Amino acid sequence: MASDTVLITGISGFIAKHVALILLERGYTVRGTVRSSAKGEEVRVTLARHGAAVDRLEIIEADLLSDAGWAEAAAGCRFVVHMASPFPMAQPRDRFALVPAAREGTLRVIGAARDAGVERVVMTSSIVAVYQGHGSRADARYGDADWSNTNDPSVGAYAVSKTVAERAAWEATRGTGLELAVINPAFVLGPLLDADAGTSAMLIAMMMRGRTPVVPDVSFGIVDVRDVAQAHMAAMETPAAAGHRFILSAGTRSLIEIGRHLAAADPTLRRRVPRFVLPDYVVRMASKVSAQARLLVLELGRAKDLDADPARTNLAIVFRTPEEAIAATAASLREYGLVR
Ligand code: NDP
């Protein structure tokens, strides 16, 4: 197969390193973009430590906020996995603050891919581009035809950025001959490849450090990063995946359930993990003064039913359980000394 070259944007990210690892294992040449050469060196060291053939890894500098480097990055590539996007721990107050990097950056990547004659772009969107801003919609099942409503002022900056970036990607590729497939993962957990934990593992770290004794009654879809990586490769290689969105979720768990699972797997955490659920009215009151609480109000008590069947059927993904993903995150956080 695979003397083909694949560009991965944002190769320094938590998920991107897993994608790079399996693509190198498969025999592809991988070109990854970073914002600083120091990060590029770290990625090379990490992937080599996990047995990857890094002689087939190229690193190139490009920032989503600038045109520089993207034409060079896409040149000679058969596929692009567009994964770079701002994913901050704290949500900016300005709901549109992340749009320039997310949307304009996506348009830069797609423009460069089109000009370079790339065959297919696989874009990492998110489940937050699917289900947010629908108020108290009676039907809690969300599928690939659903889109978040960014006109709803309660939808935060991250979800706005992911939704408008994904919409821009579909518009920019329509009728161009450049194929697009989109992956919409739920909350991604699972093993870290190095001590650069990324945003999603930090929630588990906070629980393990005893920082969240009380949690709101919110639930998330969870998916293991190894399955997310596999889905990106399958979306790249499966001809019929072009033109489709694929939700990835292995099941929904509440914050208190995640804590209970951590404690069951490691009894030393029993006194540190969340033990109490905050009454909804407290979160609603806090939402009058706190932007973070306003985001939580959207999620209170309403477990979403996320339809991942197209990923099972068309990408042949057999999901690891949420518990496996949670346990692997916890083990990695210990292994890399991020939680003692
Ligand atoms: P990380 O924060 O680990 O990775 C984000 C990547 O994007 C980093 O490589 C970062 O580079 C890069 N990036 C951010 N801003 C820019 C910019 N202006 N120019 C170039 N690169 C930039 O996040 P994840 O690995 O968790 O997420 C990867 C993708 O998956 C994102 O698109 C995210 O929205 C999406 N996703 C993640 C989920 C999760 O739970 N983790 C769930 C659903 C979707 P640098 O290292 O320089 O900061």
CB 23 within 8 A of CB 78: no
Whose CA is closest to 106, among 160, 66, 165?
Answer: 165
Name the band, by pLDDT with cuts 50, 70 and 90, for residue 135.
confident
User: Average pLDDT of 138-152?
Assistant: 92
* Cα 268 to ligand 1 centre (Å): 32
pLDDT in tens, 31-52: 999 999 999 999 999 999 999 9
| Distance, CA of 318 to CA of 139 (rounded, Å) | 26
Look over the chain and give the mean of its residue pLDDT values, rounded to a whole number. 94
pLDDT in tens, 202-238: 999 999 999 888 999 989 999 999 999 999 999 999 9
Q: What domains can be seen in the chain, in order of their start residue?
A: 5-335 (3.40.50.720)
Q: Whose CA is nearest to atom 46 of ligand 1?
A: 12
Candidate from 36, 87, 91, 189 with most ligand 1 atoms within 8 A of CB, to mutate: 87
Instruction: Provide DSSP, 272-322.
Output: TS--EEEPHHHHHHHTTT-HHHHHHHTTTT---EE--HHHHHHS---PPPH
Please list the active-site residues: 162
Whose CA is closest to 76, among 111, 110, 118?
Answer: 118
pLDDT in tens, 54-107: 999 999 999 999 999 999 999 999 999 999 999 988 888 899 999 999 999 999
Is the predicted pLDDT of residue 2 greater than 60, yes or no? no
Ligand 1 neighbours (beta carbon < 6 A): 10, 12-16, 35, 39, 63-65, 83-87, 101, 124, 126, 162, 185, 187-188, 198-200
pLDDT in tens, 288-327: 877 667 777 777 877 889 999 999 999 999 999 999 999 9
- The pair of structure tokens assigned to 244 is 């489709």
| Distance, CA of 197 to CA of 331 (rounded, Å) | 12
Q: In one letter, which amino acid is 195?
A: A
pTM for this predicted structure: 0.96
| Distance, CA of 211 to CA of 333 (rounded, Å) | 15
Q: Whose CA is nearest to atom 22 of ligand 1?
A: 84
| Distance, CA of 259 to CA of 215 (rounded, Å) | 10
- The pair of structure tokens assigned to 139 is 């039907």
* Cα 87 to ligand 1 centre (Å): 5
* Cα 36 to ligand 1 centre (Å): 14
Share of the chain above pLDDT 90, in %: 81
